[in-house]
Structure 1
Amino acid sequence: MKKIATEVWKEDLAEFREKTDAFYAGELDKSAYKGFSGGYGSYAQRGGNASMVRLRMAGGRLTKDKLKFVADSIAKHNIDRVHLTTCQTIQLHNLHPAAIYDIVESALDHGIVTRGGGGDFPRNVMVSPLSGVEKGEYFDVLPYAEAAGEYLLTFIKEQKMPRKLKVGFSNSPANQTHATFRDLGFVARPDGKFDVYSAGGLGNNPRMGLLVAEGVDPSKILYYICAMRDTFIAYGNYEQRNKARTRYMQETLGEEGYVKAYQEKLQAVFDAHDDLDLDISPAPVSKKGNGTTAQGKRVIPQKQEGLYAVEYHPLGGCPAPSKFAELYALIAPMEDVEIRLAPDETMYIIHLTGEEAQKVLAATEDGAQSLLETSVACIGASICQVGLRDSQQLLAEIVKQVRAAGIPDGALPQIHISGCTSSCGTHQIGEIGFHGGVKMIDKVATPAFTLHLNGSDAQGMERFGEPAGMILQDNIPAFLVEVGKAAAASGESYGDWKKAHGEQLQEIVERYLVK
C-alpha cells in the first residue's frame, strides 16, 4: 500500500496560503474560499475574521507526540478555543493566517494530515475509542482503521468524489462509530471478520446503511474501500450538492440496485488489483499492572489485567486549551499511556496503572459529573458559518439549570445538540436530541430547536429519533428539568422511566412544544 510522503503534502500548501491571503484581503468571497479551504481542513468562522483548523486523528488516537504538538501549538499561538468533534478530530479555533499556516505545515511533521479534513474528500476514519483495550470487544479493529486512513488519504490526490466520504470501524455491538450507518462501515464479528455496511448517514435525509458484504477477512478491507470510492464516483450526484452523499444513491438506485452496483464495483476491484492485501498483526500491550488499583465511575478496567482507562468528558467537548499541556505533563513519564478521542466528544486516557489512574482522575475533575453532562454539542452558530443556533450556549444553560434543580445522575440521558440539520451534534441518535432552527412568533423569528426522541445507535437496535416538534430555545432547560424531576420521582433511570411512563413524557413534551 502506497503512502504519500510528508514533503508531497507540504507542496500543496503554497496554493492554500495564496487563497487564504486573498480571502483575508477581501479579494476572494466567502463561498469560493470555503469550497477551497475545506480541502485543507480549514474554514473561515462566522464573520470571516478568523478561521479554524481541523486536525485529523485517525481512529481518534492521540499519542504523546501528537498531544505535545497540540499543546505546543496552543501555547505558541495563544489559542483560546478548542473543540473535540464527533468525528474524533480536534478543532483549533479563532486562528489568524500566520497561525493557520504554521499549524497546518508543522502538523505534518507529527503525522497529522489536515488535508481532506473538510471538502469533498474522505474524512477522518473513525474507530471504537477503546479498541484494543476494551473488555468484551470482538477484536482490535484499530490497526485496520489506521491502514484504511492511510489508504483513503491517497484518494485526495486522485479523482474527485461528489462529496465527503466517512468510514467507520466498530469493535462491538455498542457501535459507537455508527458503522452500520456510515458511508462505509466495518462491523466486527465474533469470528474475527467484518460485516460491511454502506450508503448510510446522518443529517438531512438520514439513512441506515445497507449490508453489502458479510464475513470479510480483515486483510481485504482496502478492496472494499476502493469499491466504495468507485461506486460513489460512478453513481454519486455531481450536479446537486445537497444530494451528493452516498445515502442518496439508495434513492436513485434503490436498495437492491445499490447493493448490486457496489458488488459489481467490488468484483472489478478484485479483478484489477492484487496489491491491496494487508498483513497486520496487532501488537499486544506490553505494559503490565503493578498491583495498584483504581475505582470510580470514570474508571474503566481494561482487558489487560491491572491496567485502566479513565474517562474525561469536557463540557460540550470544549476542554480548556491549557488542559492539553496539563495532560501531557502528567502522562509524559507514564509508560505507553496515550489518549483516545471518542465520537461523543469524550477523551479516554488508557494504559494506566491504578496509581496512574488516580492521578489522571484528579487532573480531570473539571469534566462531566453526570450522564447528562456528557451531552454532545457541535461548536455552534457563534463560530460555524452555516449554524443556525448556538448549541454550546444551550448546553451550558441546560447544565446550569439541571445542577441548580438538583436532578440526580441518571434521571436524564446524554442528549445530543446540533446547531442546524447537519447533525454534527448527532442529534438523530440520541434518546433526546435537538437541532437548531427558527420559529415565527407574532411575526418575529425566535430561536428554537426541533426535539427528537428515542434515537439509538446500538447495533441491532439502530433507529433515528422521531421529530416531536419545536421548543423555544429559552424553554429547553426548563423542559429537561421537568423531565428529570419526573424520572427522579419514580426512582428510575430516564430509560426505565420512559419505558414505563411514556404517556407522562409525552404530556410534558406537549406542554413545551410551540404550536
Structure 2
Amino acid sequence: MERKAPVLGKEELEEFRQRTKDFYEGKITKNDYKGYSGRYGSYAQRGGKCSMIRLRMAGGRLTKDKLLYIAQSIEKYQVKRAHLTTCQTIQLHDLDADAVCGIMEGAMEHGIITLGGGGDFPRNVMAPPLSGTERGEYFDVLPYAGKAEEFLLSFLDAKKMPRKLKVCFSSSPANVTHATFRDLGFVARPDGKFDVYSAGGLGNQPKIGLLMAEAVDPSRILYYILAMREVFLEHGNYEQRGKARTRYMRDKLGDEGYRQAFLEKLAQAEAGEDLTIRVETEEITKKPDGTRVSGSRVLEQKQAGLYSVLYHPLGGCPDPAVFGRLYDVIKDMEAVELRIAPDETLYIVNLTGAEAEQVLDATQDSARTPFESSVACIGASICQAGVRDSQTLLEEAVEAVRKAELPAFALPRVHISGCPSSCGTHQIGQIGFRGGVKMIDKTPRPAFEVFFFGCDRQGEERFGQAAGIMLQEDIPAFLVEVGKEAAASGLSYVEWEKDNRDRLLEIAGKYTA
C-alpha cells in the first residue's frame, strides 16, 4: 500500500493567507469562507473578527516535539485561549490571520496536521488515551489508529464526501472513544481482534452503530475503512446537509440494506489493492525508580512501577501557558508523552513515581472532583453554530457547587453541549445539558434541555432521557439540590441514582415546569 497524505505547499498556503485576509476585509462571505477554510482545520469564530485552528492528534497522542511546537506557537502569537476537544484535538482560539497561517505552516514540520480538521473530510482518528499503558486493556490499539489516520488523510484530495467521517478504536468495554456509536468503530476483543461497528453517531437522531463484522484481524482494518468511505460516497446525502451523516443512510436503506451495501463495498475493497498492514507495538522498557505515589489524579500503569497523571482543566480549557510548563517538566524524562482524552482530560504517561510528583505539582489547577471534570464544548461565545455558552454555564455551576461545599462524591461528571450537535456529548452523560431557549412570558430566555441516564459503556450503551428545559440561571441551583440530596444519603451520586431515579426526575420537574 502506497498512499500519501496531501502536503500543504507554499502556493496553497499563500492562497489560504490571501482568502483569509479577504474574509477579514469583507470581500468573502462568512458561509463561503467557512466552506473554504474548513479543509485547513480553521474557522472564523462568532462575530467574524478572529479565527481558530484545530490541530489533529491521531489517537490523542501528543509527543514532546509536538508539545514544544504548540508551546512555542502560543508564546510567539500570544495565544490566550486553548481547548482540548472531545475528538482528541487541540484548538487554539482568538487568532488573527497571521497567527493562523503561521501556526498552520510551522505545524507541518512537527508532524502536526491541520488539513481535514473541518469541512467534509475524515476527522481525527480516535483511540483510548491510555492505550498501551492501561491495566485491563485487551491490547494496544494506538498503532492501528495511527495507520488509519495515515490512510484516511490520503483521501483529502479524492472525491468529495457528503460530510465528515469519524473513525475510532476502543481497547476495552470502557468504550471511552464511543466506538460502538461512531461512523466506523473498531472494538478490541480479548482474542486480539476487532469487532466492527458502523453508521452510529451522536447529535440529531442519534444511533448506536450496527455490528458489521466480528473477529476481524487487525491487519485488515484498512479494507473496512475503504468500504466505509465508498458506501458513504454512494449512499450519502449530497442534497440535504442536515441528513448527510452515515447514520441517516440507515433510514434510507434500512439496517439490513445498509449492512448489505457495506459488505458489497468490503468485498470490492478486498478484491482490489493489497491494504494489509503490519504494526510494531512500542514496548515501554523504562525502569521505575521505586517511588510510590497515589492520589485521585494518579493511575498505576500495567508497566510495574510506572504511572500516568491526569490533568483536567475546567471545561477542557487550560491556561495556554500549561503547555510550556509541562514541556519544561517532562523534556528530559524518558518515554514520557501526553495523551488527550475524549473527555477533555490530558494524561501524562510513562512516569516514574518521582516524575509523577513533579507533574502533579505542575498541574495543581486541575479539576478536584468528578463534577469539576465535567465536559463542555467551546460554546456559543466562540462557535458560529452554538446556541448557548456551555463554558459559562459550567463555570457558574462549579462556583455554586463549591460554595455549597458538597462532598466530592455528591455529583457526577456532567456533559454540556451548546447546541444539538452534541460536541459536549450530552447524550451519553449521566446528566447532560443541550443548549436551547425557553419562552417565559413570550420572551425567549437562555436555557438548556436536560438529559438523564445516558451511558457509553460497551454493552450498556443508551442515550439520555430528555426531561425538560431549564433556564440557564436555574441549573446551578438544580445541581446543588441534587448534590445535597445524594450527599445526605451517605451514598455516591452513582449509588444514589440507582434507587432514586423517580426522585431525580421529581427534583428536575421543579426547574423545568
Q: TM-score, normalised by structure 1?
A: 0.98
Could you tell me how far 1:14 is from its partner in structure 2? 2.9
User: Does the Cα contact within 8 Å between 2:454 and 2:461 map onto a contact in 1?
Assistant: yes
Q: Is residue 39–residue 117 contact of structure 2 (8 Å, CA) maintained in 1?
A: yes
1:350 maps onto 2:342 in alignment: no
Distance 2:222 2:359 in 1: 37
Structure 1 stretch displaced more, 214-223 or 497-506: 497-506
2:460 partner letter: M
Q: What are the superposed Cα offsets for residues 231-262 of structure 1, whole Å, 9 maximum, x if unpaired?
A: 00010000000000000011000011111100
| CA–CA separation in structure 2 for the residues paired with 1:452 and 1:10 | 48
Deviations 1:374-404 (A, max 9, x none): 0000001111111011100000010000000
Deviates more, 1:453-462 or 1:17-26: 17-26
Q: CA deviation at 1:10?
A: 5.1
Matched letter for residue 340 of structure 1: R
- Aligned-partner residue type, residue 508 of structure 1: I
* Cα deviations by residue, 1:86-124 (Å, 9 ceiling, x for unpaired): 000000000000011000111000101101000000000
Task: Give, in whole Å, the separation in 2 of the partners of 1:99 and 1:46.
Answer: 18
- Quote the residue 1:232 is aligned against: 232
Q: Which amino acid aligns with 2:351?
A: L
Structure 1 residue 334, shift from structure 2 partner: 0.7
1:367 alignment partner, SS class: coil
Q: Which amino acid aligns with 1:166?
A: K
Instruction: Quickly say closer, same or farther: Cα 1:335–1:3, change in 2 above 3 A.
Output: farther
Distance in 2 (alpha carbons) for counterparts of 1:467 and 1:9: 48
Higher mean C-alpha deviation, range 458-467 or range 14-23 = 14-23
Per the TM alignment, residue 9 of structure 1 is displaced from its structure 2 partner at its CA by 5.1
Q: Indicate the residue corresponding to 2:500 in structure 1.
A: 501
C-alpha deviation, 1:11, in angstroms: 4.8
Matched to 2:298, the amino acid is V
2:370 matched to which residue of 1? 371
SS of the residue corresponding to residue 226 of structure 1 reads: helix
Q: Distance in 1 between matches of 2:6 and 2:322?
A: 28
Q: Which residue pairs with 2:77 in the alignment?
A: 77
- Deviation digits for residues 421-470 of structure 1 (CA, Å, limit 9, x no counterpart): 11010000000000000111111110000001100000000001011110
Q: Match of 1:292? A: 291
CA contact (8 A) 2:162 2:236 kept: yes
CA distance in 2, matches of 1:32, 1:7: 23
Which aligned pairs between 1:28-177 and structure 2 lie closer than 5 A? Answer: 28-177=28-177
Checking the alignment, whether the CA contact within 8 Å between 1:6 and 1:108 is kept in structure 2 is no
Aligned residue type for 2:372:
E
Aligned residue in 2 for 1:4 = 4
State the 1:8 CA deviation: 4.8
The equivalent residue for 2:221 is: 221
3-state SS of paired residue (2:215): strand
Q: CA RMSD in A?
A: 1.0
Q: Distance in 1 between matches of 2:224 and 2:240?
A: 26
Shift of 1:3: 4.7
**1:202·1:428 contact (CA, 8 Å) conserved in 2?**
yes
Give CA-to-partner distance per residue, 1:258-305, whole Å, 9 cap, x none.
11100000000001122x111112121121212112111111000001
Q: Distance in 2 between matches of 1:464 and 1:505?
A: 17
| Contact in 2 for aligned 1:2/1:151 (Cα 8 Å) | no
Would the aligned equivalents of 2:59 and 2:125 in 1 still touch at CA under 8 Å?
yes
Write the mapping of 1:297-308 to structure 2, written as runs, cut at 5 A: 297-308=296-307
Q: What is the alpha-carbon distance in structure 1 between the residues aligned to residue 141 and residue 36 of structure 2?
A: 33
| Partner SS for 1:328 | helix
Aligned pairs for 1:112-511 within 5 A? 112-274=112-274, 276-511=275-510
Deviates more, 1:248-257 or 1:495-504: 495-504
Q: For 1:321 and 1:279, how far apart are their aligned partners in 2?
A: 37
Alpha-carbon distance change, 95 to 133 in structure 1, aligned in 2, over 3 angstroms: same
Identity of aligned residues (%): 63
Q: Alpha-carbon deviation of 1:2? A: 3.1
Structure 1: gaps (5+ residues): none
**Partner Cα distance (1:4, 1:258) in 2:** 30
Q: Secondary structure at the match of 2:239?
A: coil
Distance 2:215 2:7 in 1: 38
- Does the 8 Å contact 1:6/1:109 carry over to 2? no
Contact 2:125-2:145 within 8 A present in 1 as well: yes
Deviations 1:151-198 (A, max 9, x none): 100110111100000001000000000000000000000000000000
Structure-1 separation of matches of 2:488 and 2:391: 29
Partner SS, residue 211 of structure 2: strand
How far does residue 5 in structure 1 lie from its aligned partner after superposition? Answer: 6.2
Q: Are 2:293 and 2:356, in contact at CA under 8 Å, matched by a contact in 1?
A: yes
Distance 2:379 2:505 in 1: 28
Counterpart contact for 1:219–1:277, Cα < 8 Å? yes
Would you say the 8 A contact 2:415–2:424 is kept in 1? yes
Q: Describe the superposition over 1:115-150 as per-residue Cα deviations: whole angstroms up to 9, x where unpaired.
A: 100000000000011000000000000000001001
For the residues of structure 1 that align with 2:331 and 2:272, how far apart are their CA atoms? 46
Aligned residues: 513
Post-superposition Cα deviations, 1:29-55, rounded to whole Å, max 9, x if no partner, equal 001111111111000001000000000
Shift of residue 13, structure 1, vs aligned partner: 2.0
**Whole-Å Cα distance in 1 between the matches of residues 239 and 287 of structure 2?**
56
Amino acid at match of 2:204: N
**Contact in 1 for aligned 2:5/2:154 (Cα 8 Å):** no
How far the C-alpha of 1:410 sits from its partner, in A, is 1.6
Query: Match for 1:227: what amino acid?
Result: A
SS in 2 for 1:272: coil
